[in-house]
């Protein structure tokens, strides 16, 4: 923000104050995060009118601007566990399936807890990175891992948004960008 403090994080579950009917600060409709609910008016009422355009109120921290900015300004919420946003999963094209280089159906199976994904095959010859496993298959492998005479080590599997997060973290973005740039240059020469 212009005042230097971080803005954008919704920290309270409240929406609107039932007595004043104004959005609660740091709540889901916070004016400091999303912009004023009335055109050219800050939350506390110190600044009213167009002549104060662009000023950030030093009392309440709300920028004096049009209320329509609330339609596109975004805030964020820190969650206890990772989640997969439906826009990136179900959107066309599915950015998650493109980034992970996996079919959308497979990504959905992982996200909706229908299948496990191999994050590290370890020393198992019959497993490969990003391979999907049913619950029964995973239970079988788990039994093998924990058997006394087992020689399987380093096998990691995941499920749900946590597994998707791990797969995304393992992508080397610089390498991927460079690979795509060279691919584009090479494909232009083939006309």
Decide: 65 and 32 in contact? Cβ < 8 Å.
no
Note whether residue 74 is domain-resident. Answer: yes
Based on the structure, what is the number of domains in the chain? 2
Mean pLDDT confidence for 9-32: 90
Both 118 and 183 in one domain: the answer is yes
Let me know: does 130 contact 99? Beta carbons within 8 Å.
Answer: no
Q: Supply the range of the domain harboring residue 29.
A: 1-78
* Residue at 85 is within a domain: no
- Helical ranges in 37-103 per DSSP H: 86-90, 95-100
User: Which of 61, 78, 95 is the last residue in one of the domains?
Assistant: 78
pLDDT for residue 112 is more than 90: yes
**pLDDT tens per residue across span 144-180:** 888 878 787 888 899 999 999 999 999 888 998 898 8
Which token pair is 184? Answer: 């584009």
Q: Are 8 and 26 in contact (CB under 8 A)?
A: no
Domain termination site, one of 43, 78, 113: 78
Q: What is the pLDDT of residues 119-144, one digit of tens each?
A: 998 887 888 899 999 999 999 888 88
How far apart CA 131 and CA 139 sit, in angstroms, is 15
In a domain, 95, yes or no: no
> Rounded distance, CA 115 to CA 185, Å?
38
Q: Are 62 and 117 contained in the same domain?
A: no
Asked whether residue 189 carries a pLDDT value surpassing 80, the answer given is: no
- φ and ψ at 120, to 5 degrees? -150, 115
Residues 6 or more apart from 77 whose CB is under 8 A from it? 9, 10
């Amino acid at each position: 923000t212009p005042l230097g403090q971080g803005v954008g994080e919704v920290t309270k579950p409240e929406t609107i104050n039932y007595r004043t009917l104004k959005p609660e600060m740091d709540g889901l409709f916070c004016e400091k995060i999303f912009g004023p609910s009335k055109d050219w008016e800050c939350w506390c009422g110190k600044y009213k009118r167009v002549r104060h355009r662009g000023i950030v109120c030093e009392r309440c921290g709300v920028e004096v601007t049009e209320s329509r900015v609330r339609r596109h300004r975004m805030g964020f919420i820190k969650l206890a566990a990772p989640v997969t946003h439906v826009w990136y999963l179900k959107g066309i094209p599915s950015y998650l399936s493109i980034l992970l280089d996996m079919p959308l159906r497979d990504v959905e199976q992982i996200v909706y807890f229908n299948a496990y994904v191999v994050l590290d095959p370890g020393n198992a010859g019959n497993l490969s990175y990003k391979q999907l496993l049913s619950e029964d298959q995973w239970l079988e492998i788990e039994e093998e891992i924990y058997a006394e005479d087992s020689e399987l080590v380093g096998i990691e599997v995941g499920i749900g948004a946590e597994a998707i997060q791990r797969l995304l973290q393992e992508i080397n973005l610089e390498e991927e960008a460079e690979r795509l740039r060279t691919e584009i240059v090479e494909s232009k020469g083939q006309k």
